[in-house]
Every structure is written in structure tokens, then in C-alpha cells.
Amino acid sequence: MQQDQTISVVITTYNRPDALAAVVEACFMQDDRNFEIIIADDGSTANTRETLDRLRARAPVPLKHVWQPDDGFRAAMARNRGTLAATGDYIIFLDGDCIPQRDFVSRHRLLARPGFLVSGSRILLSAALTQKALAEHIDLPAMGLADKLRYRLRGDMNKVLQLLFHLPDAGRERRSFSWRRIKSCNLAVWRADLNKVNGFDESFVGWGHEDSDLVVRLFHAGVLRKDGAFATEVLHLWHREAKRDEESSNRQLVLERAANKTTQAARGLREHVGEDFAAPR
């Protein structure tokens, strides 16, 4: 991907302004500044808006806040609205509790290639390290080798090699669909490809597999996948597991769409064209 092409980083959030601030601060420190930040807010209260107002005052890149009313888990809708508010041709979806490394945007830019999406990976942090990092405003991407190894040995990080080595682009392509390492908390897709399949499907109920559904529909539309491991890792702050009441039914729907070669979201990007996404003041 050319250096002069703008990338849009769409960050989903819901009522966790301390974690969101850490993620946005890390975005401010990227070694590639040709990108914009879109906060895709799934109904947070005024605390999040106030946090973003403070951050926007010193943002080195454009920072927008797209908000929707709190009506249950609607991350797919938030991501679609964030996409429509974006100006870049390439969209990186990032969660508001996933802290990017300094070269996160530049590594995604290097991996970007027409006809492919990039599914990145994450490193899980413990509850103790998460609490310490947020309370003390620790710059986690700036950790040295000794800190990384110490946290791994103590069990505060579930892996560390991905932070120590970068692997080349060769061999990353996946020519068949796989459930492995599909995470919308770190997923890069060309905007034109999202338009082709009508974006994320908002008809999914509750938590689970709306990201796998997007990837399988893109696959049927001719968009293949590249593995972003050992290049685009994010540090995933600990949080309580979401309710998974609908996970099995959502997975079954993805399996049916895989068999039927479905490409279009039942309710997605096209259903929001012309809407006002501005956060309330």
C-alpha cells in the first residue's frame, strides 16, 4: 500500500474510557502518521465523550467520535457507522481495549494488498497488569525486553515471542477459510471490499461470530486472507468475559452461510447511508 494513502483506524468502545484513552494515546505515538482515528461508540455515557474531547485537543491525527444509543451489544452496527464516517480506502478495526505497538499502522500498511484482508493477532494481559497499567498510565508499547520477559514469566502476558520478532510477508496468505485467529479487535479490510459485502451484519444477536461471518462472506466474494501474526500484535487489556448466550446460534448461522456461499449482510452498511452519526453534546 502506498505511503500517501490514508488509513482509517476504527476503534470500537463502550463505557471504558480509561482503556480507550490508553489505546488512543498509543495511536498518537505511531511511527506512521498518515491515518485517522474514528471512535465507533456503542452507546457510552458522557465520560467517554469528555475523555475524547481532552484527547482531541492534542491529537496529531484527525480524531472523530461516532456514537449510537445504548441498546444492547451492537458492535457490528458501531463498526459499520465508523466505516461510513471514515475517509480512508483501507480500514483497520481495533477494539478500545487493545493497545497497538508503535509500528501497528505501518505494519498493516506493509501487509495491505488488494484482494486480501489482514487478520491481526493479540496478546492477552492479566487482570493485575491491566489494572497497574491503567492506574499508573504505563506506556506498555515502550516496554523493554526485560519487562516483556518478566511479565511473560509471571503469567501477566500469554505470549511474548510475537513482540520480539517480525516475520516477512511471504507465506501469510490463506487460500481457504479457517476459523483460526479471526478477531475484529484487529482486522484490516479494504473499504471497497466492505462495500462489496455490505459490511458487518447487524442481524447477529448478542456476542459472537459477527467477525467470522464477515470474513466468510468476503471469502465468497473473492477476498482472501493474510495472517498478521508476528507483525501487527496488540496488547489486549483484561476484561470480564462477555455473555455468550447466542454464541452457538451465531456460529450455526456462519456455518450455514459458509455452505450457501452467502456474500451479503442482511442488514449492514447500505442501511445507514445518510444517517447522522455525531456524538451528542
How many domains are there within the chain?
1
Structural domain contains residue 37? yes
pLDDT for 150: 96
- Identify whether 214 is part of a domain: yes
Q: What is the pLDDT along the chain (281 residues), one digit of tens a residue?
A: 888 899 999 999 999 999 999 999 999 999 999 999 999 999 999 999 999 999 999 999 999 999 999 998 899 999 999 999 999 999 999 999 999 999 999 999 999 999 999 999 999 999 999 999 999 999 999 999 999 999 999 999 999 999 998 998 888 988 877 767 788 899 999 999 999 999 999 998 777 788 999 999 999 999 999 999 999 999 999 988 766 555 678 888 888 998 999 999 999 999 998 777 666 66
In a domain, 2, yes or no: no
In a domain? residue 82: yes
Sheet containing 7-13: give its strands across: 63-67, 35-41, 7-13, 90-95, 186-190, 116-119, 224-227, 173-174
pLDDT of residue 3: 87
Instruction: Please count the other Cβ atoms lying within 10 Å of the Cβ belonging to residue 238.
Output: 17
Q: How far is CA 13 from CA 88, 94, 95, 139, 181, in A?
A: 20, 9, 7, 20, 21
Cα–Cα distance measured from residue 89 to residue 191, given in angstroms and rounded to the nearest whole number: 5
Please indicate, yes or no, if residue 279 is contained in any of the structural domains: no
Residue 29 lies in a domain: yes
Per-residue pLDDT, 206: 74
CA distances from residue 84 to 173, 214, 269 in whole angstroms, order as listed:
28, 16, 7
Rounded CA separation 154/126 (Å): 10
- Decide if 277 is inside a domain: no
CA separation, residue 193 to residues 62, 120, 121, 210, 229 (Å)? 24, 17, 21, 16, 22
The residue segments making up the domain with residue 31 are: 7-271
CATH number reported for the structural domain that contains residue 120 in this entry: 3.90.550.10
